[in-house]
Amino acid sequence: MNFFLNKENSLIKEDIKIEALFVYKNEEEMNYYKKFIVPAESKREWMNEDAIKFIYSCIPIVSANSMGWWVLNNQDIEVKWNGGTDPSDIEIRNLTQEKHYQLCSSHFGSGILTFNMAILFKTPPAWGLWVGGPSNIFIDGLFALEGIVETNWSPFTFTMNYKITRPNHWIKIPKLHPICRIIPIPLNLNDKSKLDLKHLKENPELEKKHFEWVYARKKNIKDMDEVNTNERMNHYKNGTDVKGCPFLGMHKLLYKYSKPNDNIK
């Protein structure tokens, strides 16, 4: 690989600056909508239930939850699709009845619900945005569609879209629910990434550590069943192997993004 790591074991040595440019001409509208762009959060309402709170020890899930920034829904709405292919086959109810522009609409048809992002995002050369729904948040009857946008050059806004999967059912999307997530990505990632298929035996040291973990995990599960304990293995969380030896490299428990800078005058 033709890159160098800095002392933090990070590939990116400089801040990636993203601009969110509001296309509203009215200053009042801009001041209103800027409140709806926030860093993604690690917590989820369903993860707070007592029976499954241990899931916060699953660092891959918590990390994915906190990746990127959210665009929040600005009004309480309900939508229903009758199963048809025409845009008019989706009915939208505005429950908040605010004067501000409603971001939600039916534009494409075939049960696709559209949120119009009246924000023009700009990224540095070679960087774009992965656009989709928030990780591990769900609304029954809606499925977030994802896309990669070349915001390094594009002078166009984009839309965030959902496929309605339950026809003839009213679906509520509450105010402040995250409707879109953006994550910066290098646009040549696919060109410079290779997938080599090998047998684990080709890496004896990794094979040894892997099976040490397999046997330890089996024992842990057995102990939890027999002793009725909730004590779990935290090797990934702690960044160590089963013997407690830390690995060399960057290990984050939370990928926290900064609050947007407010430069609107």
Domain range list for the chain: 19-189, 199-256
- pLDDT at position 238: 82
Judge whether residue 84 has pLDDT over 90. yes
- pLDDT at position 233: 78
For 15-26, letters b (16+ CB in 10 Å) and e give eeebebebeeee
Q: Are 162 and 145 in contact (CB under 8 A)?
A: yes
- pLDDT at position 79: 97
Q: Are 68 and 40 in contact (CB under 8 A)?
A: yes
Q: What is the residue-averaged pLDDT of the chain?
A: 87
pLDDT band at 222 (very low <50, low <70, confident <90, very high): confident
- pLDDT at position 158: 95
- pLDDT at position 129: 97
- pLDDT at position 3: 41
Alpha carbons 78 and 101: distance in angstroms, whole number: 16
Judge whether residue 92 has pLDDT over 60. yes
**How is residue 201 written in tokens?**
């035996």
Q: Which of 51-65, 88-102, 194-208 has the lowest mean pLDDT?
A: 88-102
Alpha carbons 90 and 164: distance in angstroms, whole number: 9
Residue 92 CA to chain centroid, in angstroms?
Answer: 25
* Contacts with 252 (C-beta within 8 Å, 6 or more apart), sequence order: 63
Q: Which of 96-100, 114-118, 131-135, 251-255 has the lowest mean pLDDT?
A: 96-100
- pLDDT at position 5: 41
Instruction: Decide the pairing of beta strands 112-116 and 159-164.
Output: antiparallel
Judge whether residue 235 has pLDDT over 90. no
Q: Percent of the chain having pLDDT more than 90?
A: 55
Judge whether residue 121 has pLDDT over 70. yes
What are 171's strand-pairing partners? 79
Alpha carbons 72 and 40: distance in angstroms, whole number: 10
Judge whether residue 227 has pLDDT over 60. yes
Alpha carbons 105 and 85: distance in angstroms, whole number: 15
- pLDDT at position 264: 67
- pLDDT at position 88: 97
- pLDDT at position 6: 44
Quote the pTM value.
0.87
Domain 19-189 has CATH 2.70.40.10: yes
Residue type, 13: K
Q: Percent of the chain having pLDDT more than 70?
A: 90
- pLDDT at position 265: 59
- pLDDT at position 87: 96
Q: Which of 184-193, 206-215, 217-226 has the lowest mean pLDDT?
A: 217-226
Tokens 């009042």 correspond to: 28
Q: Are 189 and 3 in contact (CB under 8 A)?
A: no
